[in-house]
Amino acid sequence: MTVESGRLPADGVRRMFDRIAPVYDAMNRVMTAGLDQRWRRATVRAAVRPGDRVLDACCGTGDLAVAARRSGAGNVVGVDFSERMLERARRKAPEVEWMQADVLALPFGDASFDSAVVGFGVRNVEDLEAGIRELRRVLRQGGRLGILEITTPRGFLAPFYRLWFDRIVPLLGRVLPGGAAYTYLPASVRRFPGPEELAELLATCGFGDVEFRLFGGGIVALHVGEAK
């Protein structure tokens, strides 16, 4: 399993994100021209209702959990398997419950949450279907899941996308900590299901009324579904 193939074992992904934690937020702003925060707020609006008990899975440095808390959610729990990422998340919002855990084995009982969100994280899960089924398990019936993830655009933006993700982003990684992650990024996006395929997988894993919308000219997709 190699970085170039877009596949790493779970321990490899954890170590990689531990290394890039110091520059993770800055790289998100650069790679999305500052739009990632707007997309996170859209995810929260689509999936989270006021007073919800919310799970932010693969929470990274916690921006999506913070957005959920600010939206009027009740108790918010952020889970990630990178302790270095969680260290930064805790500084942003001590009122959020931050936990180190793997989305493939969440330490919660069935139907523990009213809603769940994942921002730019499911692409890194070793077994995507198992991860989605685990998210369904911890959601109550009728609970909503929102997944925000990079996707491969079609149409006029495709050449720019290839230049940016295949050339420029890996070059940036050469001068930043954990530079291998920025070679892994474009490869991981290429192997990730397209929007239609991910919608079908969500339906297979127990979600109904699945819809998706595209942002940034089709480079990012937001999927929302309701636990059946």
Read off the pLDDT of residues 175-203 as tens digits, 9 standing for 90 and up.
665 555 666 677 777 789 999 999 999 99
Query: Which range has the worst mean pLDDT, 6-20, 44-58, 105-119, 143-157?
Result: 6-20
User: How many whole angstroms separate alpha carbon 114 and alpha carbon 135?
Assistant: 11
The CATH number that domain 10-227 falls under is 3.40.50.150
What pLDDT digit, counting tens, does each position of 79-91 carry? 999 999 999 999 9
Q: Residue 167 corresponds to which amino acid?
A: R
Contact (CB, 8 A) for 82 and 18? yes
The domains of the chain are located at: 10-227
pLDDT of residue 189: 78
Nearest by Cα to 70 from 39, 88, 96, 91: 96
pLDDT of residue 16: 83
The reported pTM is 0.89
pLDDT of residue 6: 47
Degrees, nearest 5: CA angle 30-54-203: 85
